[in-house]
Amino acid sequence: MASRNQIHQVIVLKSQAFGEIHRSLTLYSAEEGIIYATAHGTQKIKSKLRPFTEAFGRYKAYLYLNPVKNQYKLNDGEGLKAFHSGHESIEKFYTASLFCEMILKSFGGGTEHSQLYELIDQSLEILENMTENKRIYLLLQYLYRFLKINGFSLDLANCDSCSRKIAPEETLFYHHSQDGLFCSQCQSRFPADQLPLPPGARKYLDTTPALSLISALEISLEKNTALNLKMLLFSCIQGLLEGPLNSLKQSKEFI
């Protein structure tokens, strides 16, 4: 039987009002995955728990598991790293929301909690302190690493239509309606809504995942290439998660 008192390093994926003075929290932990917990009395001015109920915060949570109801209660927190920049930058707020929603929609990534936890933990830390012009690269890295951790692979070496091997200097074309990557000959059959992925974009996807997240952010792309890659990865993510992401529906222009 699980121990009643538990300590987990967590990230607040979601925080919602519950009753008049409580909050219900969706937390993410490297060991347990997603944990639903209630924080009592947090709307009271003197509540010591209040800072631990803010979305995107990361801290050591002291939890109590009620074995009868099988519910967690947050008793205390320690070592809070709050996400302050979400109040100042709407772009950062929605980016952090997207990071969290992807984890919620994937049910915490099955058994890959520790890798996924490390990814979102590092990404929130970097996002908090980064300049806006670099944010797209964090987004690309987060999206692509999330796909890989969840076992999704993108075939960048062959055409999805004729199966021809793509030469290193060729451009591939992604077609949303066909959900495929096509060579220059095949792409002319689907002229609408195509996103060209030049060799640089493919090289970027091939090489950057092996780097540390910080090092990968040093590598930049031509602006349109980065934007096309972002659209391609959004499409792959929504395919993997089998549905649209609310953060994208509400705020695509900010992300």
Q: Which residues bind Zn ion (CB under 5 A)?
A: 159, 161-162, 183, 186
CB nearer to Zn ion: pick between 163 and 215? 163
CB nearer to Zn ion: pick between 39 and 183? 183
- Shortest reach from residue 165's CB to Zn ion, in Å: 10
Residues 134 and 217 sit within 8 Å (Cβ to Cβ): yes
d(Cα 42, Cα 52) in Å, to the nearest integer?
9
- Shortest reach from residue 203's CB to Zn ion, in Å: 20
CB nearer to Zn ion: pick between 65 and 183? 183
CB nearer to Zn ion: pick between 156 and 248? 156
Residues 245 and 255 sit within 8 Å (Cβ to Cβ): no
CB nearer to Zn ion: pick between 190 and 254? 190
- Shortest reach from residue 185's CB to Zn ion, in Å: 5
- Shortest reach from residue 194's CB to Zn ion, in Å: 13
- Shortest reach from residue 182's CB to Zn ion, in Å: 5
